[in-house]
Amino acid sequence: MKVDDKLLKRSLNAAIDFSIIKKEGFKDKIRKFDETIDFIINLKDINLSDPKQRLDKELILPNEVITEDKPNICVIASDEILLEAKKIGLDTLDPDGLAALDREEKKDKKKFVKKYNFFVVQDKNMRDVARFLARFLGPAGKMPKPFPSGYGIISSIDDLNAAVERYKKIVRIIVKKNPVLQVKIGKKSMEMDKILENMKTIVDYVADQMPHKYNNFRSMFIKTTMGRPIKIDNEYLETLGVK
């Protein structure tokens, strides 16, 4: 059964409302930072030992999921692409830096991979990235992939600029070891309609990949960084007094 758009909207509004600290006799307290909004889908009746039922996809959403000027990416490149990446203020790693990283301890490589959400690699440097970092990027789901599976392998400055804009809207959809997906869909400061549109896009995409579509959804939740998880369920919302 398809997920009701009105239910998604009610649940999103409830998550925003319950992110505000309320105490009788005191003024409502809104946290001083722009909270991230996370969307969680618990799946059922899928066999993750079957590669065809796993998910590993960079999905472009209709709206940006970050409010910063630049996405949290590292560009591994050389020559003109490297210079352009530095010019626009992105973190970079050149071939010499990549070779030096390979000589570091295992824990340092893990720390480097963990620092970034995405990696963008010039095509001619991809072989060394695979040789030096694949064992760390792979398990983290951050191995750059070419189009159409991903947008992390580039060959020109135009590709770089396009990737930067895309990664403001890209989320990683990964379901491999456990039947659960947790993904960022926006910031609390965003327009609610844009967050809702992002959420609906993820719901429809995941359902489309499942063997039994929406019937493979066990439960869904939405929460802000510091707020309580809100179950996307009519009966649950009624217990909270959400109309």
For the CA atoms of 62, 68, 69, 71, what is the dihedral angle to 10 degrees?
-70
Could you tell me the CATH number of the domain that includes residue 185? 3.30.190.20
Residue 24 has pLDDT above 70, yes or no: no
Choose the final residue of a domain: 166, 200, 227.
166
How distant is the alpha carbon of residue 49 from its chain centre? 23
Residue 28 has pLDDT above 70, yes or no: no
pLDDT, tens digit (0-9, with 9 covering 90-100), for 38-50: 999 999 999 999 9
Could you tell me the CATH number of the domain that includes residue 86? 3.40.50.790
Sheet containing 91-93, strands listed edge to edge, beginning at the edge strand earlier in sequence = 91-93, 73-76, 118-122, 153-154
156 and 174 fall within a common domain = no
Residue 22 sits in which domain range? 5-65+170-239
The reported pTM is 0.87
100 and 17 fall within a common domain = no
54 and 35 fall within a common domain = yes
Predicted confidence at residue 26, as pLDDT, reads 57
* Intra-chain end-to-end CA distance of the chain, in Å: 22
9 and 31 fall within a common domain = yes
81 and 104 fall within a common domain = yes
How many Cα atoms within 13 Å fall on the side-chain side of residue 71? 23
Domain count, the chain: 2
